[in-house]
Amino acid sequence: MELLQLQYFIAVARLEHMTEAARSLHVTQSSLSKTIQRLEESLGVPLFDRTGRQLRLNAFGSRFLLRAERALFELEQGKQELGELSDRMEGTLKLAMTTASTLPGILKAFREKRPSVHFHAQMANLTEMIALLRRGEVDFCITSPPVEEEDIHCEIVFVDPFVLAVPKGHRLADRDSVSLEELRDEWFVGVKKGYGTRDFLDVVCDAAGFAPRYVYEGNEPARLSALVEADIGVAFMPGTARYPQANVRYLRLEDAGLTREIALLWHRSRYLSQAALDFREVVLAYFEAQSDHSFRA
């Protein structure tokens, strides 16, 4: 069994399409087909069900895919470890996140500590993040809500209180805090259903006896402050997402339990370079500093 066979098999298994897999690997389709055929012959079982040009991973293939991905994962970890030991590389840090509001502060602090380390960050949903971690394509994920997976280490780094953003001149703008009961007649701007924070807050408001009336629902949380400032509506926002704007006031929500947990994730079997260990220290220090700051509207 050859390493190239495993790499080709994983590509075909993920796409379940020989032509697309050949294109992604930059090889001919005939060469790819022969490589997969030799792998199946060496294993003694078919890995795919074939119907014409259609491929479907069968039970043998599904089981073998887990092993193949794990094998390549371990080889990649060994490559990184040897690279660091030989001091031939400063390192590259790869991140994925569901929440980006804290990213600028974290990356600024990390760049000050390790200016020679390159980094790449991407937005992803929870399912995508777990897949990226398991394939070894990212070092860490920053997410809310946390996840529970046997092979993923999940460390809660911050409990983030929700606040209410209101425009200057709003009837509540001179207040420091507000209860949910007082918001039943307000118009809201927010993210669409399916976002963890939106779904959580809808449930909380329902328990308080009302459903928020949304005049705007989008998929860009960073736009909410600008919409509030334009007096389009009020908004529930995580405390870490507050921006210093003269025409927006942030009020503490008096109801208990209106918080979200932010977690740092990494694969339990992944080799953590010194750059990765330094990044973890930066994240922990950043959120510890956030915890020390009292709420300011």
* Residue 2, pLDDT score: 81
* Residue 88, pLDDT score: 45
Residue 86 has pLDDT above 80, yes or no: no
Sequence-separated (6 or more) residues with CB below 8 Å from residue 60: 43, 45, 46, 47
State the Cα–Cα distance between residues 284 and 288, nearest whole angstrom.
6
* Residue 193, pLDDT score: 86
Secondary structure element (H or E) that encloses residue 264, with its range? strand 259-267
HSE value, Cβ hemisphere, 13 Å, CA-based, for 140:
28
Report yes or no: 215 and 233 within 8 Å, Cβ to Cβ.
yes
> Is 221 strand, coil or helix?
helix
Confidence of residue 297 (pLDDT cuts 50, 70, 90): very low
Report yes or no: 160 and 261 within 8 Å, Cβ to Cβ.
yes
**Of 137, 121, 117, 169, residue with least CA distance to 277:** 117
State the Cα–Cα distance between residues 37 and 46, nearest whole angstrom.
8
* Residue 296, pLDDT score: 46
**Of 83, 61, 242, 55, residue with least CA distance to 162:** 242
Highest mean pLDDT among 64-73, 170-179, 271-280: 170-179
* Residue 96, pLDDT score: 92
Highest mean pLDDT among 90-94, 141-145, 182-186, 199-203: 182-186
pLDDT, one tens digit per residue, over 242-266 is 877 778 999 999 987 799 899 999 9
**Of 88, 103, 173, residue with least CA distance to 143:** 103
| 281-to-119, 264, 284, 285 alpha-carbon distances in Å | 16, 11, 5, 6
pLDDT, one tens digit per residue, over 8-57 is 899 989 888 888 888 888 899 888 889 999 999 999 999 999 877 678 89
Q: Categorise residue 134: left if φ over 0, alpha if ψ from -120 to 50, beta otherwise.
A: alpha
Residue 231 has pLDDT above 90, yes or no: yes
Looking at per-residue confidence, does 194 or 8 come out higher? 8
* Residue given tokens 């409990």 in the structure block: 159
Lowest mean pLDDT among 82-86, 177-181, 264-268: 82-86
Confidence of residue 282 (pLDDT cuts 50, 70, 90): very high
Residue 295 has pLDDT above 60, yes or no: no
Q: 54-65 burial, b for 16+ CB within 10 Å, e for fewer?
A: ebebeebbeebb
> Is 3 strand, coil or helix?
helix
